[in-house]
Structure 1
Amino acid sequence: VEVTFTFAGTSLAGKSLVAFETMLFEDAEYMVHADIDDVDQTVAIVDIATQARDGITNTSEGAATKDGKLIDTVAYTGLTPGHEYRIFTTLMDKSTNTALTGDDGLPKVGTTVFTPNTPDGTVDVTVDIDTTKLAGTSVVFFEKLTDKDESIIATHEDINDEGQTVSFPSIHTTAADGADGDKNVIANDKAKIVDTVSYENLAVGKEYVVTGTLMDKATGEPLKDAQGKEITASSVFTPEQPDGEVEVTFEFDATGLEEKTAVVFETLVKDGIEVATHADINDEAQTVNIVSDEPTPEPEPVPGQTPEPEASGKGYPKTGAVVTACAVGASACALVAFSLAGGTSAFLRRRERSEAEPSDEK
């Protein structure tokens, strides 16, 4: 005869349950079977727990690489030795609680088939993924444990479980002239560019190194200073919060680099492993122009037209020079014209009076 127990077992994961039975006959106990060590009376409630990590850093902080691997180590308890099981994992975007998809539009999943030798143990599930596209995101593993018939035995799906999560740092930069904060650097031997690096998803209390290289926008190659050396700079820092900013300062001899456009490329490294990059040759925020410190020649004035005011410094014409000259010239012309008009009028008046008066000559 069968006896069925129906109950909520969500809180019993990892426990082993033993069935004790008593048989009554005419309201009197007729038979008992109560052996806490009887294997045939025992059912294990399977439990799984996971620890996710990046395949390069071996930590919960991911590294940016096209050939990335994310590994989920699944610890299980209560399995039957010699039986075949399967672990299915799905990568979830923590911010949206939706499955990540690959270039084919399908969810990113991983599967491992295994046969345990003991009731308790661990098994790894690996997912191959281009992690360069995950900068600034956190990825969470969802797991299902099934038997060989794919009947679900246990699940572990908690979007807020830190053990199931791998986070990917991201950096964004804004470069400017170190002298006045604009986008134009004078081409002299004391050029300075300050790049403000904004970061996200960093590990608090860990040391990072951010390194920048100035690139020539026209060629896409590293920009070289007046001595022919590549221009690089670094900053070492330990974040107190996952998100923040750090500055990288480039000081170099820009003599002879007039008309060049510099773009800052940055990499972020922890424990010798590159975890984030920002390298976009067309990013205006990362771009600074190198300009001449010689003033631009003043254009010839056009008769009847007032030239536009011009700015002085950084290769720009000096403010107001042409306008002032034109204004002075115009005033002088007006004065001359006024004087000539006045002189002519006085001459005509004297002539009229002379003709009107009678002559004394006989």
Structure 2
Amino acid sequence: MPVETETLALSLEERLKQEAARLGFAACRIAPADAAPLAATRLRQWLDAGHHGDMLWMEDRADQRGSPQELWPAVRSVIMLGMSYAPGHDPLALADVGDRARISVYAQGKDYHDVVKKALKALARWLVDQQPASLKVFVDTAPVMEKPLAQGAGLGWQGKHSNLVSRDHGSWLFLGAIYTELALVPDGPERDHCGSCSACLDACPTDAFPSPYVVDARRCISYLTIEHKGPIPHDLRAGIGNRVYGCDDCLAVCPWNKFAQSAAANRAFVGRAELAAPEIGDLLALDDAGFREIFSGSPIKRIGRNRMVRNAAVAAGNSGDPRLIARLQPLLVDEDPVVAEAAGWAIDRLTPAA
């Protein structure tokens, strides 16, 4: 049988997965639109507890976020896709290197929004060519609960750290979704494989997990360094250590990562050398133009210069390195009062060491 005939003999779902792999996705699974029936209730409980902090956009359109049909009544199937960014190094290697800043693995390469969305759109065009029907694509910018839907599709399960865990790719997957009117054959959900393990909960430096499977964003380092615009609470600053953008600790310690292969990672997410271990002192000296130049094409650009320098000031205060005082002093009169306050706090921390 000729190759083309063999390909046509495959089901639409099988050919879809082949095309997804060709476009750089490490995983592709299908779920019915109602595959996450508990998502809306759990979201409401999380919001009512105030665990979303300043992320008011989580409250906005909460009904649509909790159910694909609320967002788009015509949807019948959800195609969930995962793109690997498995690192080729230990994400915790810089934990005790005081003069260097730690940037989350996912942010050291190209902006995943751009990379994943481009591939999603290409896959969507392919699907329409195969079987015309309306569809919508989403990458972290719409009221879509990707993780419960990914579990419903069988990509993995939501671990005790609330992130998706895959038996094949560990904790290192960017998620994207295609909503379609097509009634595709679903793959079936994945069950929870966390068992009695609590490694992710125990690793959190700021005790951001009030209970397994629940994260309080107000104590999460990723939230504090990325989403939170104001001063970082003083009682949480020491726990931030030298992290200036995000935190990988709860992901990095997951035992399932032993199955993740860096070779499976999309090459677009290979980290840039200058973002692997930047000097805290260099980050403190950033102005707006310098910030834009360094972080162009990176997801880090969304937080802006002020938040990055605020984070660097906190990292400097935790460094124990009095040489950073000279870099902090000009920030005491920074135009952003949040930056100025963080610099003053850091100087106070470092002065006894000096």
Same structural fold, with TM-score higher than 0.5 when normalized by the shorter chain: no
Higher relative contact order (CA 8 A, sep 6+): 2
TM-score normalised per structure 1: 0.24
More helix, by proportion: 2
TM-score normalised per structure 2: 0.24
Q: Which has the larger radius of gyration?
A: 1
